[in-house]
Amino acid sequence: MTTKSLGNPFDGDKSLIHAKTCGCPECKPGDSTPSISLDLKPSAGQQTVADEHLDSEAMMDRAIEGAVVRSVFGHNEHSRRAFMKMMGAGTAAAVLGSVFPMEKAKAAVKESLGKLEKTKLNVGFVPITCATPIIMAHPMGFYERYGLDVTVTKTAGWAVARDKSLAGEYDASHMLTPMPLAMTMGAGSTPEPFIMPAVENINGQAIVLHVDHKDKRDPKQWKGFKFGVPFEYSMHNFLLRYYLAENGIDPDKDVQIRVVPPPEMVANLRAGNLDGYLSPDPFNQRAVWEKVGFIHMLTKDIWEGHPCCAFACSQQFATQNPNTYGALLRAIIDATQYSNNPENRKEISEAIAPKNYLNQPVPVIQQVLTGYYADGLGEVKNVPDRIDFDPFPWHSMGVWILTQMKRWGYIEGDVDYKGIAEQVYLAGETGKLMEEMGYSAPDKTYKTHTIMGKTFDPDSAEEYARSFAIGRV
């Protein structure tokens, strides 16, 4: 196994953020991608990093050393490398070793993690920016830091991701936050207990309309429109339905909502098969680039901080492989927190752009991840939190999703909102693990949320589901 990301953390010439199969310009000088009209500066500097070959125990030692060093520098790679070059690797290691019991830490971590039941894993992803932590953890070495050899497999759409997960072809997968709830309940598929220990992204979606509809910015003008969403059990579907209904449009009677795989959104918009869509990026930005659509609004303006995509696996996988599951979740949390830092977004854009990942021009991805973007209406917007990354799976988010599934007839009968949310969304366990890893986590798992100016109280879920003028209950 090549382990570029596990270079000596005390060496200022070694990068800790790149690994095998990395397709970024730093690791593959000379690679290029098409440019777009909005010029965003690419990351500077290109260098190659020599591979290292380590056994599993040496990999874990190196990973722990790297984690300690990164925590000292707040995960700031630039500061770490500058300091190590100034001090020298030997001196820096000695200084840190004099104040931190490194060997005891290694022993404690190894004891707590235990022997990995599996090291070779297959993790599915749909090629969208919402999956950023799951994707970038591969080229940037986050899986390797925890002794895992992960293959990330590009997946055509959500039905495929669901079916391959149910069949056990994927050990874990990128999913939409409603999916593990639906799969556990048997909504749209055979019932199988799935768990969601981590949210991948918050915000990060948009409503896009065809350029011919620039004069129809009022949703009340949308009767008869055809809209695309990526999956029935998606935040995209439920947010679009919520937005339409709040504007007096019945999503089942006044418009058509079709399931369209994200990579096919732009082509269907261009062909006139869709008047608009609520989709994950980069396909909102890609529609602007190709001059076939414009961004009507970001979904953060519907619900600031809403969840979208998630990391999930079957309960069976976690139970049968507890140490492997723990290592995988640690890698995901680490990658999500790294993605959360705006300073890392341009670098991440380069890492996830290649064909085996998103297959998109770097500037398109940068516009999404940095929030500095063209809206297709002649303006350049600066919205740094257009997309953000926070792994904490609030139970109250799960409850809200269940109320919308009930509202629109996807589930029927009595619903144990909190019971199901707590079974699937592992907020308590994830919070404890985040704190163990040195990250801050909320001290509660429920809170109120504001959607289009209205407060959702998870303690009144059934009443909330039945409170809307437009709905199926």
Determine the pLDDT at residue 109. Answer: 61
Determine the pLDDT at residue 37. Answer: 33
Of 468, 466, 431, 440, nearest in space to 452 by CA: 468
Query: Given this chain, do its domains 1-202+308-391 and 205-306 carry the same CATH topology?
Result: yes
Determine the pLDDT at residue 17. Answer: 58
Cα-only R_g, the chain: 22
Gap between the Cα atoms of 439 and 221, Å rounded: 46
Gap between the Cα atoms of 207 and 211, Å rounded: 13
DSSP helix/strand/coil, 35: coil
Determine the pLDDT at residue 86. Answer: 80
Give 456's contacts (C-beta < 8 A, 6+ positions apart). Answer: 396, 400, 403, 448, 449, 450, 464
Determine the pLDDT at residue 67. Answer: 67
CATH number of this structure's domain 1-202+308-391 = 3.40.190.10
Segments of the chain with pLDDT less than 70: 1-7, 14-60, 63, 67, 70-71, 74-78, 104-113
Q: Which residue has the tokens 């926070």?
A: 390
Gap between the Cα atoms of 277 and 255, Å rounded: 12
Determine the pLDDT at residue 98. Answer: 77
Rounded alpha-carbon distances, angstroms, from residue 348 to 12, 25, 81, 343, 429:
20, 11, 18, 10, 28
| DSSP-assigned beta bridge partners for residue 208 | 277, 295
What does pTM read for this prediction? Answer: 0.81
Amino acid at 30: G
Instruction: Give the residue extent of every domain in the chain.
Output: 1-202+308-391, 205-306
Determine the pLDDT at residue 4. Answer: 44
Helices (H) and strands (E) in the chain, counts: 18, 16
Give 421's contacts (C-beta < 8 A, 6+ positions apart). Answer: 181, 395, 396, 398, 399, 402
CATH number of this structure's domain 205-306 = 3.40.190.10
DSSP helix/strand/coil, 309: strand
Determine the pLDDT at residue 403. Answer: 98
Q: Which residue has the tokens 């144990």?
A: 416
The first and second tokens of residue 355, run together, are 């064909």
What is the chain's length? 473
Gap between the Cα atoms of 317 and 359, Å rounded: 30
Rounded alpha-carbon distances, angstroms, from residue 47 to 14, 43, 348:
10, 12, 16
Would you give the end-to-end CA distance of the chain in angstroms? 55
